[in-house]
Amino acid sequence: MSPLTRLGVTRYLASRLTREVVVANLGSASLDLYAIADRPLNCYTFGAMGQCSSIGLGIAVARPDVRVICLDGDGSLLMNLGSLCTIAAEAPRNFVLMVWDNEVHQTTGGQPTATARKASLLGIARGAGIDRGLEVRTQAELEHAVDRVLTEDGPLVVVVKIDKGPTTVPFDLDVIAQPASFRRALAAV
Amino acid sequence: MSDQSWAKHVADVLRRNDIRLFATVPDFIVSHVLDELWTDPECRVITTTREEEAVGLLSGAWLAGRRGALLMQNSGLGNCVNALASLNVASFVPLVLVMSHRGDLGEFNPAQVPMGRALPRVLDALGIRWIRPTSIAELEQQADGLIKLCYAEGQPVAIVLPTELTGGKKG
């Protein structure tokens, strides 16, 4: 059991944000971020399961002047591991991939993912060619990691081991309107 | 080598509609278009590991203000059906798809045929407007309007490249 919770790590990261774009994975990552720190530069993703890191990469490529922080999940990234190879090859300096790794498919009822067994997402990221990465298991490690997330040249991968547990936030986001409102907010930056 | 002048027309249609960012999982036929784009210093071409990844990437780029096109074999459409439906179609995120039409006239590989035959119905089932120009004249007549529709409606559209236009792959 990890001492870190998704709500807790989301709250800490949000407290440090300024003008970064934050792209959140569908389900728990988006809902927790929405509840704690809704802001115009949050991009909540709802469709395209697995594609959170790719959507974030696309934003980073199109807007190299803005730092992009992706909040992916372990199940989602495991579905799109090739994305790590593309991130390594394109190497956007303004891109950080954080993974809330609770070792379960939380949204579908808590079934174990591959990270509960043998797989290390940090190891896979390194194998894909992303040299800068770290794994976080404590609040002190999280605070050090967020220092790097906000300042260091990317691509950077931060795997945050968090406790299991579904979100308690109700789903009341406008999925249809959200992409357009995020697009307008980013265009104004 | 058959005449590949069609490929420059495809590249030019995309470029004159302000598309400079491309993602691809390469295909023999589409690679003729990629040859035009890779050598253009104003264009950026990103090779992804899977077509679905390219849908995510180009959708993100559009959210950040850049138009994008995905170049692939039609078999790759099968790899990105859910992403197109649940992100682009559901949330009005426009994207230009350019795909070869393997599995149709002149096909030598039987494994390509079922997906090739399903292609029009897959696009129709997703509600994606598509064109299938069989000549350069048809391409020039239809493609600008299709791309204009894409961004006006905020929906993905597809340019399907049949053997009649490209000469196909001989085997």
In a domain, residue B88? The reply is yes
What type of residue is A106? Q
Q: How far is CA A76 from the centre of its chain?
A: 10
Cα separation, B19 vs A59, in Å, equals: 15
Number of A:B CB contacts under 8 A?
125
* Minimum-distance CB partner of B65 among A45, A62, A86: A62
Has residue A146 got a pLDDT over 70? Answer: yes
In a domain, residue B93? The reply is yes
CATH at residue B19: 3.40.50.970
In a domain, residue B132? The reply is yes
User: What average pLDDT score do residues A130-157 get?
Assistant: 97
pLDDT confidence bin for A173, thresholds 50/70/90: confident
In a domain, residue B171? The reply is no
User: What average pLDDT score do residues A27-46 get?
Assistant: 94
Query: Phi, psi at residue B30, to the nearest 5°?
Result: -65, -25
End-to-end, the C-alpha distance of chain B in Å comes to: 13
DSSP B69-130: EEEEEHHHHHHTHHHIIIIIIHHT--EEEEEE-TTSTT---GGGHHHHHHHHHHHHHHT-EE
- Summarised one tens digit per residue, pLDDT across range A81-98 is 999 999 999 999 999 999
DSSP B85-102: IIIIIHHT--EEEEEE-T
In a domain, residue B158? The reply is yes
Predicted local confidence at residue A125, as pLDDT: 98
Residues of chain B with pLDDT under 70: 1-2
* Full domain range(s) for residue B44: 5-166
The token pair that represents B84 in the structure block: 């197109």
Q: Do B60 and A63 touch (CB under 8 A)?
A: no
What domain count does chain B have?
Answer: 1
In a domain, residue B129? The reply is yes
* Minimum-distance CB partner of A57 among B52, B60, B154: B60
Predicted local confidence at residue A85, as pLDDT: 98
User: What average pLDDT score do residues A140-162 get?
Assistant: 98
Q: Do B90 and A47 touch (CB under 8 A)?
A: yes
Residues ≥6 apart with Cβ < 8 Å to B145 = none
Judge whether A137 and A159 are in contact, CB under 8 Å. no
Q: DSSP letter for A41, please.
A: T
CB contacts, 8 Å: A179 with chain B: 63, 91-93
A89 part of contact set with chain B, CB < 8 Å? yes
Predicted local confidence at residue A87, as pLDDT: 98
Q: DSSP letter for A48, please.
A: S
In a domain, residue B55? The reply is yes
| Interface probe with A: pick from B20, B21, B47, B53, most Cβ of A within 10 Å | B53
| Interface probe with A: pick from B24, B63, B66, most Cβ of A within 10 Å | B63
Sign of torsion over alpha carbons A166, A169, A172, A175: negative
Please indicate whether residue B163 or residue A165 has the higher confidence score (pLDDT): B163
Q: How long is chain B?
A: 171
- pLDDT > 70 in chain A, percent: 100
Task: Identify the helix (H) or strand (E) that includes residue B23.
Answer: strand B21-24
End-to-end, the C-alpha distance of chain A in Å comes to: 40
- Look at residues B54, B59, B149 and name the one whose alpha carbon lies nearest to residue A180: B59
Predicted local confidence at residue B170, as pLDDT: 86
Q: Identify the closest residue of chain B to A56 by CA–CA distance.
A: B60
Predicted local confidence at residue B1, as pLDDT: 45
Cα separation, B111 vs B86, in Å, equals: 28
In a domain, residue B145? The reply is yes
User: What average pLDDT score do residues A36-46 get?
Assistant: 94
Predicted local confidence at residue A114, as pLDDT: 97
CA A141 to each of CA A127, A145, A181, B75, B112: distance values in angstroms, whole numbers, following the listed order: 23, 6, 34, 44, 51
Q: Domains, chain A, ranges and CATH?
A: 6-187 (3.40.50.970)
Q: What is the pTM of this model?
A: 0.97
Query: Phi, psi at residue B81, to the nearest 5°?
Result: -60, -50
* Minimum-distance CB partner of A186 among B49, B64, B88: B64
Strands A68-73 and A95-101 turn out to be parallel
DSSP A93-158: TTEEEEEEE-SEETTTT-EE-GGGTT--HHHHHHHHT--EEEEE-SHHHHHHHHHHHHHS-S-EEE
Q: Do A61 and B44 touch (CB under 8 A)?
A: yes
* Number of neighbours of residue B89 by Cβ within 10 angstroms: 18
Q: Identify the closest residue of chain B to A77 by CA–CA distance.
A: B53
